[in-house]
Each structure stands twice: as structure tokens, then as C-alpha cells.
Amino acid sequence: MARVALESTLLLHGVPRESCLSLHAQLCDDVRGAGAEPALIAVFGGESVVGVSACQLEALLSSGTVPKANTSNLGVLLARKAHAATTVSTTMELAARAGIRVFATGGLGGVHQGWSTQLDVSSDLLACTRFPVAVVCSGVKSILDVRATREALETLGVPVVGFRTGLFPAFYQRSLSEASPPTVDATFDNVEELGAFVHAELARTGRGIVVCNPIPEDAEIPAPRFEAWKQEALRMASEAGATGRDATPFVLGRLHAISNGETLRANIALVRSNARLAGAIAAAMPA
Ligand code: PSU
Ligand code: MN
């Protein structure tokens, strides 16, 4: 059966610890319900594991802070026999090596706000040019510069396609609510056609694809409400000096608290929708 990769950073750093095991179980059900087999990816005691068990996930959860691994520090963490949570970049790397071609997550990393004074660009973007995996996501992380990240994907030559949308999603919103919002390269309205395209394009290029699946309409958070929470969370991060790899986990934690769980509920709704779509794409792809 076709497999779908799931990432461990989203679980270990993106949601509160008490939501982690239940979200993992829900994502597995969602992928299986769509006709594919889920494979959570993480580093466990220096071994890259494709298909982390619930027991291993519990062990990771109770082992204190698990570092985030991107393509730059993955090798060091393996060499040091550490536990690590894989981000989009390392999940793509390990999925590709295991022959998995579809991966479901929430949002891609990308170009951070304020990039012109303090450069912070996720290695996720370059990973899309290196590993032949289709990443099903709801755009990029909510706290990034969405427009700049869309441009960077274009510069890197990464195909960005939309499932039933012509607009590049903005995580908690189905698109940016601005004049001339960023778009996708092509729109697919049915899963069979999308699966056939993903199959052909991965084989043709040996590089990645971004498949955009906007947040379900009933889970959207209106932009003005989210903007206010985001500004407050970013201010708290700058006061606490949370930068680089620590920035996202810190800001997401504050957002979930400030919004009284609203951002968490929306985040779960969109990741689950992405898991269902990824499962359906994987099931529709020729072996
Ligand atoms: N989007 C979320 N929550 C997350 C992430 C993305 O809503 O936790 C994670 C993903 O694992 C992504 C990583 O690959 O953040 C990017 O981190 P950085 O900006 O440090 O590269
Ligand atoms: Mn970064």
C-alpha cells in the first residue's frame, strides 16, 4: 500500500504535549481512511525511523526537549545518538530515501518577516529542490512573510499547485486578503489528475512539489483577529529573545494561549485535511 510521510516537529513542537498522541492517532486514521499507510518520521536514539510507533512517540514526548533537525544538523544528531524531531526538510530527505513520495504537514517553513534586516529562511525551501516528495500543506507557517516565501519558491523553481484553489493559501486563511494575492502555478480539481501529475513530475525531475490545500472553510480564522494575536506573540518572542530554530515553537505556543485554543483547533483541522488529501493522492498514484 502507498505510504504517506508525517513529520515529528509539528507534533513535538507545534502542538501542546497533551494533544500530541491524539493528533498523531487522528492523522494516522485520516491517511488510512483515504487508502494509504501513514509513516511518522523522527530520529530515535541516533536512528532515523520511518514509521515511528506510538510507544516511540511517547518515549520522545517524555524525554525532555527534543531538538529540531533540519538538513544542516541531522547528521550531527545521528552521530551523537540523539533523539530529534524532523522538520519538513529532514522529513522529505528521509521519506525520499525510503521511497515515500507523498508527505502531509501543516505549513512549510519559509522566509521570516523582517528578512531584510535579519535574514531567516528555512531550509525547507531548498529541500523542495532536492528531494522527490510532494508536500501537501496549507501554504507556509502563519508567522512568515507569505508573499516573500511564495516568490522564493518561484525563484527556486519549485512547482506549486493548488487543490481546488488558484490562490496560494495563508495557513489560517484560505488566501491572503490583499489586493492581488499570491497564486499557484496550476489548479487541480480532482485527486486522480493530481495523483497522475505528482507521479509524472516527481519521476521527470527527481525534485519536490508543493501541493497547496487551503484550510477548510469552517475552520478559517478571520485575518484581522489572527493579525492581532500574531503581533502580540511576535512581540513576546522578541522580548524573550526566541530566534532561529526556537522562534516557531515559542510563537505557536503563545498563539495557542492568547487565542484560547482557537489557533490550535484550526491547526488541527488543516493538518487533518492535508493528511486526508495526501492519503488520497498516494492512493491515486501508479505504484
Ligand atoms: N508549521 C507549523 N508548525 C510547525 C512547523 C511548521 O504550523 O511546527 C515546523 C515544520 O516542521 C517546519 C519547521 O519544517 O517548523 C520550520 O522551522 P524553521 O523555520 O526553523 O526551519
Ligand atoms: Mn530559521
CATH number of the CATH domain containing 44: 3.40.1790.10
Whose atoms come closest to the Cα of 8: which ligand? 1
pLDDT of residue 190: 97
* Residue minimizing CA distance to atom 1 of ligand 1: 107
Confidence band of 89 (pLDDT split at 50, 70, 90): very high
Tell me the mean pLDDT in the region 237-258.
93
pLDDT of residue 287: 87
Give the domain range for residue 203: 3-284
Q: Which residues are catalytic?
A: 7, 141
Q: 13 CB less than 6 Å from ligand 1? A: yes
- Pocket probe for ligand 1: among 9, 89, 115, 140, the residue whose CB has the most ligand atoms within 8 Å is 9
pLDDT of residue 275: 99
Q: 159 CB less than 6 Å from ligand 1? A: no
Q: Does position 244 have pLDDT exceeding 90, yes or no?
A: no
CA of 13 to the centre of ligand 1 (A): 8
Q: 70 CB less than 6 Å from ligand 1? A: yes
| Structural domain total, the chain | 1
230/241 Cα distance (integer angstroms):
16
For residue 219, CA distances in Å to 9, 45, 265 come to 22, 37, 8
Q: 141 CB less than 6 Å from ligand 1? A: yes
pLDDT of residue 196: 98
| pLDDT, tens digit (0-9, with 9 covering 90-100), for 97-108 | 999 999 999 999
Residues whose Cβ atom is located within 5 A of ion ligand 2? 120
Count the Cβ atoms, other than its own, within 10 Å of residue 82.
17
CA of 71 to the centre of ligand 1 (A): 13
* Residue minimizing CA distance to atom 18 of ligand 1: 122
Q: Which atom from ligand 1 is nearest to the alpha carbon of 142?
A: 7
Tell me the mean pLDDT in the region 157-181.
97
Tell me the mean pLDDT in the region 74-79.
98
